[in-house]
Structure 1
Amino acid sequence: MEQRIAVNSWTAWLLATRPKTLISAITPVYIAAAWAFVHGGHRINILPLILCFAFAVVMQIDANFINDYFDFKRGNDNENRLGPKRACAQGWIKPKSMFRAIILTTIIASTIGFPLILFGGYQLILLGLACIAFCFLYTTHLSYWGLGDVLVLVFFGLVPVLGTYYLVSLASSTLFNLDILIAAINCGLIIDLLLIVNNFRDIENDKAAGKKTLVVYIGKKNTLFLYCGIGITVLLLGVFFLIHSNLMACFLPLLFLPFHISTFIEMKTIDKGKELNKILGKTARNIFIYGLLLSIGILLG
């Protein structure tokens, strides 16, 4: 029997935050922290690290609320939706309450992020504004133009990894380092797998709604190759860690491969329908496994 969720209850709000997605917010931060710890002679700047973690989590929740609200307004979250249930569409949270929550979480994220200028300078204000702006633009416009995957690479890879590293590292030079650049690219690519699964599952609904995702452009067969290929590419890029003789950062993440291949085979077998939501959960698990293995490898190396 399906659980009844009271309107605007704590349970409703918890579900609206989409707790499983938060792994994609914190993974870039702890990978960057691991490199900063190693490069800084086993020292790290703790306060900005805490702020980076908090900012990442609140911004992810903010993005989830925005997605929930605007997809409901567009009518995308209808009876044909195959993905996990959404709060506004299910009536768990009133649209006006969700809109107020979006304003609140945006303010909280800004409040958390503002002190980071003490560690990184006033240019971080522009970066923070970009994060907030693209948080809205993704759901309202850019995801309909096939740019969602690019945004994931930038805002779940390059921005959080390079930004966190710059803010928390006590190394003598933090402006450029090949290790952290490869880690940032890998992080963006591996997290993009979640979006690929989402769009693979929703391809027919997205076509009907006029949403031109990358999956819609390249088709399901090519998307399967892309999903599998991204996981392998991430591991191949890890070879660059050998330049600085970090063997563990290169080889320990290889343990991620069996999980990835198994999930890919299951995704290919299922092909369509609500059962693909299992692949979403397993992909999130795989992201956590990769991030954990890479971080341990960095520290041990």
Structure 2
Amino acid sequence: MNKEKILIFLEFVELRTKIASVFPMMIGFLWTYYHYQQFNWLNSILFAISVIFFDMCTTAINNTVDYHKAIDMNYKHEENVIGRNNLSFKTMIMIVFALLAVATVFAISLIFLTDFLLLILGGLCFFLGITYTFGPTPISRSPFGEIMSGGTMGFGIFFLAVYMTMYEKLLTSVHTMGNINISFAWFEAMKIFMMSIPLICLIANIMLANNTRDLETDIINERKTLVFYIGKKNAVILYQILSLLPWIAWLLYIVSGILPVWSIISFGLIPKHYGSVMRFKEKQTRETFPEAIKSFTLFASMYVIVLLLASIIG
């Protein structure tokens, strides 16, 4: 495979956007080590491979479906990666199945290393991921795209990253004489959800920024996203609210003692984050869309560094 084909493949799976799955996973791993003083290298590596390949798969499905359903011929042949590079539609479908197969193999291996309940959890995640971009009415083309992307990637990946090590204390099943007893540590699950709120908000914002930027194109291609219903003005207001909530949650983590007091220094990054938010507020274009990714990357990087330092120095 030559360099040009590799670059086209990376664009097809949008590798640059995988930070939305890698960061929640990294933070989940670090939170497990910091909060529970435990970590499972084998399970975590297998999980990381499965997540990255499945994320690439869902993105590939999204680009393939967008190409197939496109009504706007300019978008289909000039903007979509398949049409712009004159790629084989059948080959792209084969790549989708190959990515899905790799993700599935690694996911199944984890079932044998953790608990049978992972089959249900993993199956649900695969189902939501595929229906997000595929089917008669993909979730990404509906008003629920932001909720689904933020919830599944911000919380779902975080939760499963913790589960890879803590499955025996988080969610397990015991099979006895034809009965199945399930143990669920709901309080720990709620704590994981609370710690994932910043990720949920900022990942949802990436989707919201994308849909705000593409509103006119989406209308032509009959994609009725949340922005279609609430309008650009309200979408920008929602974007600002979702950008503020992570900092409020961060303050609560510090005040409640979940994170060390010295984590307060991270608030020095607020001006940089605020500037990014304001640039997107001023105009919502292809040039300013990366501000949503920058905002997420800034906060998530801070999250990683704080947990890493907290794990080392306490």
**Per the shorter chain, which TM-score range?**
0.7 to 0.9
Q: Does 1:65 align with 2:54?
A: no
Cα distance change on mapping 1:203 and 1:179 into 2, 3 Å:
same
Cα distance change on mapping 1:113 and 1:256 into 2, 3 Å:
farther
On the 8 A contact 2:71/2:220 being kept in 1, the answer is no
> Structure 2 counterpart of 1:39, which letter?
H
Q: State the alpha-carbon separation in 2 of the partners of residues 231 and 76 from structure 1.
A: 33
For 1:10, the equivalent position in structure 2 comes to 6
- Paired residue total: 288
Question: For the pair shown, which has the larger CA radius of gyration, 1 or 2?
Answer: 2
For 2:281, the equivalent position in structure 1 comes to 268
> Structure 2 counterpart of 1:52, which letter?
F
On the 8 A contact 2:21/2:52 being kept in 1, the answer is yes
Q: 1:238 aligns with which of 233, 250, 257?
A: 250
> Structure 2 counterpart of 1:159, which letter?
G
For 2:114, the equivalent position in structure 1 comes to 120
Q: 2:85 aligns with which of 85, 91, 94?
A: 91
On the 8 A contact 1:191/1:287 being kept in 2, the answer is yes
Q: State the alpha-carbon separation in 1 of the partners of residues 233 and 122 from structure 2.
A: 37
**Secondary structure of the structure 2 residue equivalent to 1:279:** coil
Cα distance change on mapping 1:18 and 1:77 into 2, 3 Å:
farther
Q: State the alpha-carbon separation in 1 of the partners of residues 132 and 268 from structure 2.
A: 33
> Structure 2 counterpart of 1:67, which letter?
N
Q: 1:101 aligns with which of 88, 95, 105?
A: 95
Q: 2:300 aligns with which of 291, 294, 298?
A: 291
Deviations 1:41-100 (A, max 9, x none): 2x311111112221221111101110111110001574258xx94321213421100100
Q: State the alpha-carbon separation in 1 of the partners of residues 73 and 214 from structure 2.
A: 12
For 1:149, the equivalent position in structure 2 comes to 146
Q: Which runs of 5 or more structure 1 residues have no equivalent in the other structure?
A: none
Q: State the alpha-carbon separation in 2 of the partners of residues 240 and 173 from structure 1.
A: 24
Q: Does 1:38 align with 2:34?
A: yes
User: Shift of residue 109 of structure 1?
Assistant: 0.4
Which region of structure 1 is more displaced relative to structure 2, 276-285 or 96-105? Answer: 276-285
Deviations 1:1-46 (A, max 9, x none): xxxx96xx222212212121011110110111111011222x3111
Cα distance change on mapping 1:77 and 1:295 into 2, 3 Å:
farther
Q: Which runs of 5 or more structure 2 residues have no equivalent in the other structure?
A: 172-184
**Secondary structure of the structure 2 residue equivalent to 1:278:** coil
Cα distance change on mapping 1:133 and 1:120 into 2, 3 Å:
same
Taking only the aligned residue pairs, the percentage that are identical comes to 20
Q: Does 1:196 align with 2:187?
A: no
Q: State the alpha-carbon separation in 1 of the partners of residues 85 and 292 from structure 2.
A: 28
On the 8 A contact 1:161/1:180 being kept in 2, the answer is yes
Q: Does 1:25 align with 2:17?
A: no
Q: Does 1:207 align with 2:219?
A: yes
For 1:55, the equivalent position in structure 2 comes to 50
TM-score of the superposition, structure 1-length normalised?
0.86
On the 8 A contact 1:39/1:171 being kept in 2, the answer is no
**Secondary structure of the structure 2 residue equivalent to 1:112:** helix
For 2:178, the equivalent position in structure 1 comes to none
**Secondary structure of the structure 1 residue equivalent to 2:230:** helix
**Secondary structure of the structure 1 residue equivalent to 2:256:** helix
For 1:254, the equivalent position in structure 2 comes to 267
The structure, 1 or 2, with the larger RCO (C-alpha pairs under 8 Å, 6+ apart) is 1
Which region of structure 1 is more displaced relative to structure 2, 167-176 or 208-217? Answer: 167-176
User: Shift of residue 231 of structure 1?
Assistant: 1.3
User: Shift of residue 212 of structure 1?
Assistant: 1.6
Which region of structure 1 is more displaced relative to structure 2, 145-154 or 29-38? Answer: 145-154
Cα distance change on mapping 1:245 and 1:36 into 2, 3 Å:
closer
Q: Does 1:281 align with 2:276?
A: no
On the 8 A contact 2:72/2:220 being kept in 1, the answer is no
> Structure 1 counterpart of 2:85, which letter?
G
